[in-house]
Structure 1
Amino acid sequence: MAQVLHPDGDSVAEALRHAKPSTLTRLVSAYFTHSEETTRLCLLLHRSVHRARAMYHPLHRLLQVLPLNHHLSGSQCDAAFDAFLHFDKFHNPFPPPGSHNFQEMRQCFSQLRHKLNQRLHKSRSRIRLARRATLASALCVVGSTVAIAASAVVIATHALAAIVACPFCTTAAYLPANNNNFLTRKEAAHVKQLDAAARGAYVLNNDLDTIDRLVARLYDAVESDRYLIRLGLERGKEVYTVTEVMKQVQRNQVNMMHQLGDLEEHICLCFNAVNRARSLLLQEIHLYQTPSSS
């Protein structure tokens, strides 16, 4: 985790330690926790890829030298049978489709995205309300000033009547505009943090969906080869059976290696997505905690 997760858990904990307890802080903290768990899950899958390659290595090495266009010799059959035994010692390195880990993580991100979007909508509504109040206050100040100036040209009594006729403007003119501006800046900072977390949750949820599908295909492919290898072991060192099993493994080889490489690539992309989202969110937290943003 220390080698692949950036910023690390200690940096996140230090930043959140200075944040006031709130719904926003809890949601942001939940995102950091879920993203860390995603990294841990991807690390386990990365090890699964290495175990799968070790599992297939003797078989694939033999395929480079065995003449499968005709029956194998006794020594070649023995070598293939030994590779079968090596392969059969391994369990399937990939979790089965619909495994608990994937379902739990995807459900966590789905629920978190829903809560983040709700809080994001609330913050944006507050910003719009504060800006409307500030605009109304400014317009009423201007309107009252113009009304007083125009009335002063006629007579003072008419000016008083104009002000009394627009009590809502005089009231709005004394709204705490500075307080509205402060609330707007505060909520804008919240929006940036929420948006960074929501975007990160969306990307990671999609990444997990893709990785889940790749893992499911690899699990099925390995199970198919395990069944095939066991069939060869049950028949003993029968030349025809061993040859046919190796031919089938050869047919599956390109697809298997391609799928392993594809999964490894998506795991690396997920690592990058996690770190990028965590860095952006932590940056927004630090900006909000600076004196200029408070």
Structure 2
Amino acid sequence: MLSYFEISAEVSLICSYVLKTINQVQCNYHFIERALDIMDGVDDSPEKVKLIIFELNSFIFSNNPFSDLNNHDFKLISGKHSLVLHSLTSMRKRMGRKVKLMTYLKETSETCVKVACGLVPITTNVIATHILAAPTMGQTILGFPCTERLKRKLPHLRFSRKFLSKVCDQLDIASKGTYILNKDFDTTSRVVARLCDEIEHNRAMVQLCLDKKDDKFSLQIVKELKKSDAGFWRLVEELKEHVYLCLVNINQARCLLINEMT
């Protein structure tokens, strides 16, 4: 169970870092947005091109915030989560088998007690009828120590089964939480990779524009950036949604598990 809390805390930290990175991306892209706003102006004067070049220069001086995040070995983290999921699932199966065994033992013990208690008076009557000279024999059988031991063990079996069932419920919640966490984390890592590539592509276009030092070429590059602008921000919003969903699912699973444990 501790392993689930550890990996969920780890993913929560990464999600928080992704949100901070998104904020940095939005700040950096203000330069692109200003260049696009200038591009929407009526005139194509040299002053307009100079202002656009200034904004593009400011953008290129800022780094790609997702480059460091993308270097995180998401595959390694996902592999670790898969191992935890496998461990939790295996524990759940073992506990399930124990619960079934305890249930079988309880039912068998109850049956034995009922049968033994039913046999005691019958056996006593038979012996009392045929062996009147041994009055203490009936008392000995009536005591039937094995039935008393079985009766004493039944509450223990009930307690053990209840405890194991509770552990099984906890493992169920942790396993489901880990499975959902793996899916959310994989999706988030894929969107991060796409967004990182998109930023690098835009930076390459801007750098090409700055290297050419040609006004017409620069305006053409800005037009291309404008075409991809809406798609870029949709991708940013998609990433934010996945991160928030991941955090919500983590909190819900942890609350359910804590409630089950208390």
1:98-142 per-residue CA deviation (whole Å, 9 max, x = no partner) reads: 743422321221111111111111111111111100101112222
Matched, 1:195 2:168: no
Please state how far the C-alpha of 1:151 moved relative to its aligned partner. 6.6
Matches within 5 A, 1:147-186: 147=119, 173=150, 176-186=153-163
Map 1:16-35 to 2 at 5 A: 28-35=1-8
Query: Which secondary structure does the structure 1 equivalent of 2:63 belong to?
Result: coil
Partner SS for 1:91: coil
1:217 Cα deviation (Å)?
0.8
1:140 to 112, 115, 118: 112
Deviation at 1:144, TM superposition (A): 3.3
Q: Does the residue aligned with 1:41 lie in a helix, a strand or coil? A: helix
In the comparison of the two structures, how many residue pairs are matched? 249
Cα deviation digits, residues 73-100 of structure 1 (max 9, x gap): 2111011101110111122211479743
Q: What SS does structure 1 have at the residue aligned with 2:205?
A: helix
Identify if the C-alpha distance between structure 1 residues 221 and 148 changes in structure 2 by more than 3 Å, giving closer, same or farther. Answer: same
Partners of 2:172 and 2:166 in 1: how far apart? 10
TM-score (norm 1): 0.76
Once residues 52 and 34 of structure 1 are traced to their aligned partners in structure 2, the CA distance between those partners, rounded to angstroms, is 27
Q: Is the 8 A contact 2:35 2:56 kept in 1?
A: no
Partner of 1:90: 62
1:49 aligns with 2:49: no
CA contact (8 A) 1:137 1:175 kept: no
- Check if 1:40 corresponds to 2:16: no
Residue aligning to 1:225: 202
Task: Pick the aligned partner of 2:226 from 250, 257, 268.
Answer: 250
Secondary structure at the aligned position of 1:268 is classed as helix
Q: More helix per residue: 1 or 2?
A: 2
Decide which structure has the larger Cα Rg and report it. 2
Structure 1: gaps (5+ residues): 1-27, 161-168, 288-294
TM-score (norm 2): 0.85
Unaligned runs of 5+ in 2: 131-136, 138-145
- Name the counterpart of 2:142: none
Secondary structure in structure 1 of the residue aligned to 2:44: coil
CA deviations on 1:216-241 (whole Å, 9 max, x unpaired) are 110111111111000001012x2111
The alignment status of 1:100 with 2:42, answered yes or no, reads no
Partner of 2:255: 279
Per the alignment, residue 270 of structure 1 pairs with 246
Give the % identical residues: 26
> 1:157 & 1:245 partners in 2: Cα distance?
112
Name the Cα RMSD after superposition. 2.8
Encode CA deviations 1:162-205: one digit per residue, 9 max, x unaligned.
xxxxxxx9699567111111111111221122222111111111
Partner of 2:82: 110
Q: Do 1:58 and 1:83's aligned partners in 2 also have CA atoms closer than 8 Å?
A: yes
Deviation at 1:67, TM superposition (A): 3.6
Other structure's SS at 1:176 match: helix
